[in-house]
Chains A and B, each alone.
Chain A
C-alpha cells in the first residue's frame, strides 16, 4: 500500500543538502507530485538526483579540492624526502617507533595534524573565493572553521594506513581527511544564488 506521507528524510535532504537557492520550490514540487500519486521510491530517486545535479554545478570546488590535496601531498613527500636525510629526523623516527611514551595522545595528535593541514585548506579556500570574486574575511573564516572541524573529525576517525603498501599509496590514503576538509571549507563558503536579482528583472 502506498504511504500517504512522503519520506521525511528525503524532504530534509532536498531542503538542506541540495545546492542552490531553489530548494524550497523543489521540495514543494516533489510534495505536489507525491500527493498526486508518485511513490516513495520515486521521491527518493528525485531527491538523490537533485543532489547529484546540484553537485555537478560545483565543479570548481571539486577540482580545487582534488588539486590542492595532490599538490599538498606531493609537497609533503618532497619535504619528508629532504628531512629524512638528516640525522636528527632519523633518530627521532627510531625513538618514536620503539618507545610508546614518545607517541602523543590521540587528542594532541589530531590537534597537531589539523593545525599542520590548515595551511593547504586556507590557501585553497582563499584561492577559490578569489576566483569566485567573493573573497571576504567573514566568508573565509566560516569556510576555514568548517574545514578544520571536518578535518579534526576525519583525522580522529580515519583508520591508520601505515600498513598499506606501497608507502606512497598509504600516504595518499592518509590525505583523505584533508580532501573532505577542503570540500567542506569551500562548500560552506560558496556563493548561494537566491534568485532575488531575477525577481528585480521581472518587477
Chain B
C-alpha cells in the first residue's frame, strides 16, 4: 500500500477522466467528462483543487498549452497521469473490486 493513503472518490474520478481524455485533458473537458459519467454537476474550481493535490503528490503532471482569444489570452493547462498515478488507480481498482465482490445487496443492479 502507498504511503500517501487511499485516493478520495473525487480524486479517483479525476484520474479516470484524465485517462479517458488522453491528450485533451484540461479543466473544461475534465469537468465535462466527470459530469457526463457521473450525472452530477462539477465545479471547475473543485476539479482544479483536486488536480493540484494530485500534482503535489506526483500522481499527475501538467504543462501549459496554447492561449486563445476565446479564453481572454489565457493558456490552457493540460494534465496527464504519471506512472505513479496509474499505479495508484490500479491499486484502488483492485481494492474496490475485492470489497465489492460477493456483496448480496449489490447483486442484480439493486442497491
User: Does A25 contact B27, Cβ atoms closer than 8 Å?
Assistant: yes
Beta-carbon nearest neighbor of B43 in chain A = A49
User: Does A50 contact B26, Cβ atoms closer than 8 Å?
Assistant: no
Interface check A176, CB cutoff 8 A? no
Which size bracket describes the interface of A in this complex?
20 to 34
- Complex Cα distance, B68 from A117, in Å, reads 49
Interface check B74, CB cutoff 8 A? yes
Given contacts A26-B45, A28-B72, A31-B70, contact A199 B52 (CB under 8 A): no
User: Does A33 contact B28, Cβ atoms closer than 8 Å?
Assistant: yes
Compute the total of residue contacts between A and B using a CB distance below 8 Å: 101
- Complex Cα distance, B26 from A114, in Å, reads 45
Q: Is the interface of B mostly helix, strand, loop or mixed?
A: mixed
Beta-carbon nearest neighbor of B31 in chain A = A29
Given contacts A20-B52, A202-B80, contact A27 B62 (CB under 8 A): no
Interface check A35, CB cutoff 8 A? yes
- Complex Cα distance, B44 from A35, in Å, reads 15
Which size bracket describes the interface of B in this complex?
20 to 34
Given contacts A30-B44, A49-B46, A50-B44, contact A22 B52 (CB under 8 A): yes
User: Does B48 contact A22, Cβ atoms closer than 8 Å?
Assistant: yes
Among the listed stretches A52-60, A79-87, A124-132, which one makes contact with chain B, having 4 or more residues with CB under 8 Å of it?
Answer: A52-60
Interface check A78, CB cutoff 8 A? no
CB distance from B11 to the nearest CB of A (A): 13
- Complex Cα distance, B41 from A49, in Å, reads 12
User: Does A24 contact B48, Cβ atoms closer than 8 Å?
Assistant: no
Q: Is the interface of A mostly helix, strand, loop or mixed?
A: helix
- Complex Cα distance, B52 from A21, in Å, reads 8
User: Does B52 contact A27, Cβ atoms closer than 8 Å?
Assistant: no
Interface check B49, CB cutoff 8 A? yes
Given contacts A28-B74, A49-B43, A193-B56, contact A199 B63 (CB under 8 A): yes
Binary flags per residue of B3-39, CB closer than 8 Å to A gives 1, else 0: 0000000000000000000000011100000000000
Which residues from chain A contact B51 at a C-beta distance below 8 Å?
22
Binary flags per residue of A144-186, CB closer than 8 Å to B gives 1, else 0: 0000000000000000000000000000000000000000000
Which residues from chain A contact B61 at a C-beta distance below 8 Å?
198-199, 201-202
Which residues from chain B contact A56 at a C-beta distance below 8 Å?
49
User: Does B71 contact A20, Cβ atoms closer than 8 Å?
Assistant: no
Interface check B60, CB cutoff 8 A? yes
Beyond A29-B71, A30-B44, A202-B62, 20 additional pairs, beta carbon < 8 A: A22-B48, A22-B51, A24-B75, A25-B64, A26-B44, A28-B67, A28-B74, A31-B74, A32-B68, A33-B28, A33-B44, A49-B43, A50-B48, A53-B45, A53-B48, A193-B56, A195-B55, A195-B62, A199-B64, A202-B61
- 7 tightest Cβ-Cβ pairs between the two chains A and B: A50-B45, A28-B74, A28-B71, A25-B77, A49-B43, A29-B27, A53-B49
